[in-house]
Chain A
């Protein structure tokens, strides 16, 4: 091992780190990674992510530059310091960056994150009740109909064509339930309270443009809430491995203006009507 002449690596390595850091930052400006957002809480989620990008980006760059700088400086050093520094200095050198990242992480989630989390899970008044049911490999939406009640369902009644959700015809609340395969219709500006079920295995009701994601768990009814802001047609996808057709388990959220939505709902007839 030759210690007399500096290795070319003591030049190449810091250079590589600087280029790496610059490339990572540059990628965020070059690539089209920003996804549209079409729900109220979705904007909050984006603010959360944006806050983290803005805060952790400089920490990432600073960390890489620090390593590059120390490595670069070592080119000219013959005798490194044994440096058992004072415990106080050691604590300070560690503590300051630690508190910084702690403040970013905890401050971010408490100040920005949790209120948005509440928007999704704290039930608002006057929501539109809808149900979305996952099955291999399809999404089926259900609306409670005129009576405002979801009727009873029974797994033994399920018939893929005649009765995909297994609605019980003997239950008066079920007769007017509206069932729509593959699409969810929602009015803009009004929060939808979405109950999520699964008929078979785990699925996850994900609408990336809405920043909505909630697992569909057999045996449970899970719940999420969203207030669409912009009319349009947005893709529903599945975010929990559910079988060989997982990748093509698609559906659409059609966000209509409130008037269009009422007109759409008036056109629907109950499953047993």
Chain B
């Protein structure tokens, strides 16, 4: 029996033996590409993390970090851009998604292996391009990761708005092209290459979240692409999409006329808000899979979770304006965006409750992956409740652009996504390398990262309540004085978080050689990726691809001898898997 994916992939010639270059560099194997993404994200993460640490030194001890007020907005902008697009997007979505999806759906590779390779090689040059902007006249882009014009459109408005902003836009264009190709591949793979019997309602939740996240990305990124092109034209071709008439920079009346900065904000957040779910949902999916495996029971409310994901995605597309409550858009829109934004709490809370309820009557196994998944529950709960404050237009009059916002989004797209990424890497590492990561180092890394991160970003909420604004080089306002003593404390916490990543790096790079060797199914898990040897060979299964005969989480079914049943285990002799 030949799985539907087998023929396709073989035809494309992905698995010809090949030499070093075709195997490890210009590889079309989804697992190698996944690792390439993760290594790239790690390198960018070191830069992004170092920028954060550097920024924190300035905030704790103003003037001592060697940062000038001109440079500070550049550092903030680049920290945000690198972390969101080049670390979390690449590691969690492009990287782990590449690794997980074909294995979990029982396919030999992605639907379009060449496109997959192209995606990686499109985003790779974007990294040096983005980093190079530190070394051009005027320095790196400085208009924030949101790149609001006119600051980002007019060269004289801020030093980073010269060459730096142009490089930023070009690097982002490459990133978007890569991410779009990747998303198309994910969607095509999940829809078309599922194993026989793997119905949509038998799909592991990790795959579901990648599917929803990819569709969201495909629908929303074009808006940013359009905005980026229009901004480039405003900067270099004399158009005025985003710049109105009569703007005076350094005493000079600018030639632009007729545009409006609000248009850019709408286009940006039309992507920007769905992007949050693009990043957060896969982390939740990974947590569901990891928690199921290490609590030895199926997740609570599989169907409710799936439908909630879909509702989150649909609502997530029509709430972008909650980033613009104070922007000057019509106040009536503030009401609409507030009410609809808060509707998202319903499906989102359902997902959160299902995560918690999955632990009920469980028998836990304390692997590092499980620790990260449990930590994720705390982070997504706390961050999610913070969202209830910010989706509220009235409360946002106080919170907008304050450290409350900074703390909130670091909970969601900092902690939740990173916790999910770490859980995923620990969990699927044996499938890639054939060896386990070190548990003792993993636990130490968990405690030294999660607790300081929680304290760091939680305390930022309180600084925001006191009225501390984000993107400030230093604080001399009287009213924030009572919470300024926290600044050095937060900086020390940030340094602990940054330094403890060394434990992860050591573990990650040592374990492929020194780690305990793992069998095909070290966690006694149920989904299809655990039916092939570890490391999984090119083409994923040495002979036939598996078929799915049952749901993804058959743990501890009463009356069974073992406490798990692989998805590929036939139900009864002679019964065929139901049609795909």
B362 touches A243 (CB 8 A): no
A44 touches B394 (CB 8 A): yes
A16/B356 contact (C-beta < 8 A), A9-B366, A44-B394, A101-B349 known: no
A220/B353 contact (C-beta < 8 A), A9-B366, A201-B151, A213-B400 known: no
CB-CB contacts below 8 Å: A222-253 with B: 222, 235, 237-248, 250
Q: Per-residue CB proximity of B545-579 to A under 8 Å, as 1/0?
A: 00000000011111000010000000000000000
* Count, chain A residues at interface, CB 8 A: 107
Question: Roughly how many angstroms separate A244 CA and B455 CA in the complex, as a whole number?
Answer: 29
Question: Which residues of A are found within 8 Å of B350, using beta-carbon distances?
Answer: 94-95, 98
Residue ID in chain A nearest B359 by CB atoms: A70
A-B contact pairs, 7 of them (CB 8 A): A13-B366, A35-B466, A45-B398, A70-B361, A77-B363, A80-B296, A247-B474
B388 at the interface (CB under 8 A from A): yes
A239 touches B465 (CB 8 A): no
Question: Roughly how many angstroms separate A194 CA and B382 CA in the complex, as a whole number?
Answer: 36
A67/B327 contact (C-beta < 8 A), A77-B363, A204-B401 known: no
CB-CB contacts below 8 Å: B486-544 with A: 486
Question: Roughly how many angstroms separate A60 CA and B383 CA in the complex, as a whole number?
Answer: 10
Question: Which residues of B are found within 8 Å of A63, using beta-carbon distances?
Answer: 352, 356, 377-378, 381
Question: Roughly how many angstroms separate A209 CA and B73 CA in the complex, as a whole number?
Answer: 26
Q: Per-residue CB proximity of A56-93 to B under 8 Å, as 1/0?
A: 10011001101100110110011111111000001101
A21 vs chain B, min Cβ distance (A): 9
CB-CB contacts below 8 Å: B346-365 with A: 346, 349-350, 352-354, 356-357, 359-365
B378 touches A20 (CB 8 A): yes
A32 touches B482 (CB 8 A): yes
A94 touches B477 (CB 8 A): no
Question: Which residues of B are found within 8 Å of A82, using beta-carbon distances?
Answer: 297-298, 554-558
B339 at the interface (CB under 8 A from A): yes
B389 touches A35 (CB 8 A): no
**In the complex, which of the residues B150, B365, B465, B472 contacts A218, with contact meaning CB atoms closer than 8 Å?**
B150
Question: Roughly how many angstroms separate A110 CA and B393 CA in the complex, as a whole number?
Answer: 10
Question: Which residues of B are found within 8 Å of A52, using beta-carbon distances?
Answer: 388-389, 392, 395
Q: Which residues of B contact A (CB under 8 A)?
A: 68-70, 72-73, 142-144, 148, 150-151, 154, 157-159, 243-249, 251, 253, 259-262, 295-298, 300-301, 304, 326-328, 331, 334-335, 338-339, 342-343, 345-346, 349-350, 352-354, 356-357, 359-367, 371, 374, 377-378, 381-382, 385, 388-389, 391-395, 397-398, 400-402, 443, 451, 454-455, 458-459, 462-463, 465-467, 469, 471-479, 482-483, 486, 554-558, 563
Question: Which residues of A are found within 8 Å of B374, using beta-carbon distances?
Answer: 13, 67, 71
A130 vs chain B, min Cβ distance (A): 17
**In the complex, which of the residues A31, A44, A117 contacts B462, with contact meaning CB atoms closer than 8 Å?**
A31
A110 touches B378 (CB 8 A): no
A102 touches B151 (CB 8 A): no
B364 touches A108 (CB 8 A): no
Q: Per-residue CB proximity of A125-153 to B under 8 Å, as 1/0?
A: 00000000001100000000000000000
A217/B328 contact (C-beta < 8 A), A82-B298, A105-B345, A247-B473 known: yes
A7 touches B395 (CB 8 A): no
Question: Which residues of B are found within 8 Å of A237, using beta-carbon distances?
Answer: 469, 477
Question: Roughly how many angstroms separate A240 CA and B143 CA in the complex, as a whole number?
Answer: 10
A77/B362 contact (C-beta < 8 A), A93-B353, A113-B394, A217-B327 known: yes
A259 at the interface (CB under 8 A from B): no
A241 touches B73 (CB 8 A): yes
A244/B359 contact (C-beta < 8 A), A35-B465, A60-B381 known: no
**In the complex, which of the residues B69, B150, B363, B479 contacts A80, with contact meaning CB atoms closer than 8 Å?**
B363
Question: Roughly how many angstroms separate A83 CA and B360 CA in the complex, as a whole number?
Answer: 10
A45 touches B395 (CB 8 A): yes
A155 touches B253 (CB 8 A): yes
A218/B246 contact (C-beta < 8 A), A49-B389, A80-B363, A101-B349 known: yes
B326 touches A97 (CB 8 A): no
**In the complex, which of the residues A67, A81, A105, A219 contacts B388, with contact meaning CB atoms closer than 8 Å?**
A105
Best-surrounded residue of B157, B253, B395, B462 (most CB of chain A within 10 A): B395
A240/B328 contact (C-beta < 8 A), A9-B366, A31-B483 known: no
CB-CB contacts below 8 Å: A11-29 with B: 13, 16-17, 20, 23-24, 27-28
Question: Roughly how many angstroms separate A84 CA and B303 CA in the complex, as a whole number?
Answer: 12
**In the complex, which of the residues B260, B343, B361, B402 contacts A83, with contact meaning CB atoms closer than 8 Å?**
B361
A184 at the interface (CB under 8 A from B): no
A101/B253 contact (C-beta < 8 A), A83-B298, A213-B398, A222-B328 known: no
A242/B392 contact (C-beta < 8 A), A20-B454, A247-B474 known: no
A15 vs chain B, min Cβ distance (A): 12
B458 touches A27 (CB 8 A): yes
9 additional A-B pairs beyond A91-B304, A155-B253, A204-B326, beta carbons within 8 Å, are A33-B465, A77-B361, A93-B301, A201-B247, A208-B479, A218-B150, A241-B151, A243-B151, A247-B472
B525 vs chain A, min Cβ distance (A): 12
Question: Roughly how many angstroms separate A92 CA and B8 CA in the complex, as a whole number?
Answer: 45
A173 at the interface (CB under 8 A from B): no
**In the complex, which of the residues A27, A49, A158, A217 contacts B395, with contact meaning CB atoms closer than 8 Å?**
A49
A199 at the interface (CB under 8 A from B): yes
A121 at the interface (CB under 8 A from B): yes
Question: Which residues of B are found within 8 Å of A46, using beta-carbon distances?
Answer: 398
Question: Which residues of A are found within 8 Å of B243, using beta-carbon distances?
Answer: 218-219
A121/B297 contact (C-beta < 8 A), A17-B378, A32-B483 known: no
Residue ID in chain A nearest B380 by CB atoms: A63
A215 touches B297 (CB 8 A): no
Question: Which residues of B are found within 8 Å of A169, using beta-carbon distances?
Answer: none
Q: Per-residue CB proximity of A32-50 to B under 8 Å, as 1/0?
A: 1111100000001110110
A160 vs chain B, min Cβ distance (A): 7
B394 touches A33 (CB 8 A): no
B378 touches A74 (CB 8 A): no
Question: Roughly how many angstroms separate A91 CA and B148 CA in the complex, as a whole number?
Answer: 43
Question: Which residues of B are found within 8 Å of A250, using beta-carbon distances?
Answer: 477
Residue ID in chain A nearest B71 by CB atoms: A244
CB-CB contacts below 8 Å: A156-174 with B: 156, 158, 160, 166
A10 at the interface (CB under 8 A from B): yes
Question: Which residues of A are found within 8 Å of B244, using beta-carbon distances?
Answer: 218-220
